[in-house]
Chain A
Amino acid sequence: MIRINALLCLIFGLTAASAWALPETVIEIRNHLFIPQRVTIPANTKVKIIFVNHDDTPEEIDSFDLNREKVVLGHSRATIFVGPLPPGEYQFFGEYHPNTAVGIVEVTDIVEGSNAD
């Protein structure tokens, strides 16, 4: 039993350690809008995107390009991992407000313009 616990701690520890080392970018949701609407992340790198919802209502982040779908409850935050991706533009939108909540993840080779840090 102790061995199993130790193994689980090791697995979760390694997962957490690898997640902490990743570049991060934060996107806020205010009045059913993504702020910023365009984020730039480095190509061929895994990136942690944190959505912080300041609205009272939930939002469901959806992206056919990134193949991601995540519910962010009101006054809450949610994390998704994307990449490694080739350079290009990847659209995402809020399922509950598709007319206003739209955004783009721009994946580029140029590191200087990156929002992820």
Chain B
Amino acid sequence: MLINTVILFIRDTLPIFLLYSYLSALPGMSARIPPLSVGSGILLAIVLYFNLDWLSQMAAGAGLELLKIATLMVALGSLCVCLGRAAASNGKPPAVSVWILGLALTAPNAIHFLIYSVAYWPTETSDFNLVFGIIIGLGISSCLAILLYLLISPLGSTKFKWLILLLFCAGQIAPVAALLEQIDYVPNQSRLWDTSRWVADDSEYGHLFNALFGYEATPSLFYLLIYVLTLVGPLFCARLVMRGAPASGHTARWL
């Protein structure tokens, strides 16, 4: 149970830690916004958890998937607003959009670990293993998040910081494709390629790459489409804003 708790903690919460680092490294980001957005996301996950019984049975059992899809679409929308508004203000995103982005990406990840930890907390042998598993998972996730922050924070290039945030967000939002397939809202797609011989989805690197940029060993066309849309959509919004804005030095400098 100890090992399983560590694995589940890292799988479910590593993206939240990485998100915290990415948001903290954004230019002109207030120190209060990342903890506020992640905290709100966890709070939302707690609220959802206590309503999970009826939520999961909604829409013929597709309630949780639809909720996650809606939350991820909100994240995509706020990412577009973030980048669009940032284009007009020298790469600095509006605090409210960043807060919504953080909230919408945190909640779908947090709810899974919440289900596990709350359900297995009271069982007889699990207390010790669960606590230690969380401590170890917390340590690993924190270390990776701090390393990531130290790597990207000193970089002067605002463009690069946004690009890696976009890659991260695309990786978080693209699983909408699998969710839609799972509840039969879109037909099952054949896989475009299979790279599981090199990096399998269930390997350590597979999990890490998945959290960093949404690595999938066997992606479908629909997955790839949403991934590209998440990358291109916000950039397109930024371009639109730049085109409409009066020519100034700062907008062109970073995008």
Contacts and interface: CB of A to CB of B under 8 A. Distances in A.
A85 B178 CA distance: 15
Interface centre among B182, B187, B200 (most CB of A within 10 A): B182
Interface centre among B115, B120, B202, B220 (most CB of A within 10 A): B115
A83 B181 CA distance: 9
Interface in A81-117: 81-85, 95-96, 98
A58 interface: yes
Given A69-B182, A71-B115, A73-B56, 6 more contacts: A46-B188, A48-B184, A60-B112, A70-B182, A78-B61, A96-B120
Contacts, number: 70
Judged by DSSP, the binding face of A is mixed
A77 B116 contact: no
B60 A19 contact: yes
Interface in B79-103: none
A64 B201 contact: yes
B157 interface: no
Contact of A67 (B57, B60, B178, B187): B178
Judged by DSSP, the binding face of B is helix
Name the interface size band of chain B: 20 to 34
A74 B56 CA distance: 12
Contacts of A69: 178, 182
A57 B61 contact: no
Contact of A79 (B4, B61, B119, B187): B61
A84 B123 contact: no
A71 B56 contact: yes
Interface in B145-202: 178, 181-185, 187-188, 200-202
A68 interface: yes
A51 B117 CA distance: 21
Contacts of B53: 73, 76
B218 interface: yes
A16 interface: yes
B4 to A, nearest CB: 6
Given A57-B120, A68-B182, A81-B183, A98 B4 contact: yes
B196 to A, nearest CB: 8
A81 B181 contact: yes
Nearest to A71: B115
B119 A15 contact: no
Interface of B: 4, 8, 52-53, 56-57, 60-62, 64, 112, 115-116, 119-120, 123, 178, 181-185, 187-188, 200-202, 217-218, 220
Contacts of B57: 76
A9 interface: no
A18 B60 CA distance: 13
A48 B183 CA distance: 10
A67 B218 contact: yes
Contacts of A70: 182
A8 interface: no
A71 B112 contact: yes
Contact of B56 (A76, A81, A84): A76
A79 B119 CA distance: 21
Given A60-B115, A71-B115, A16 B218 contact: no
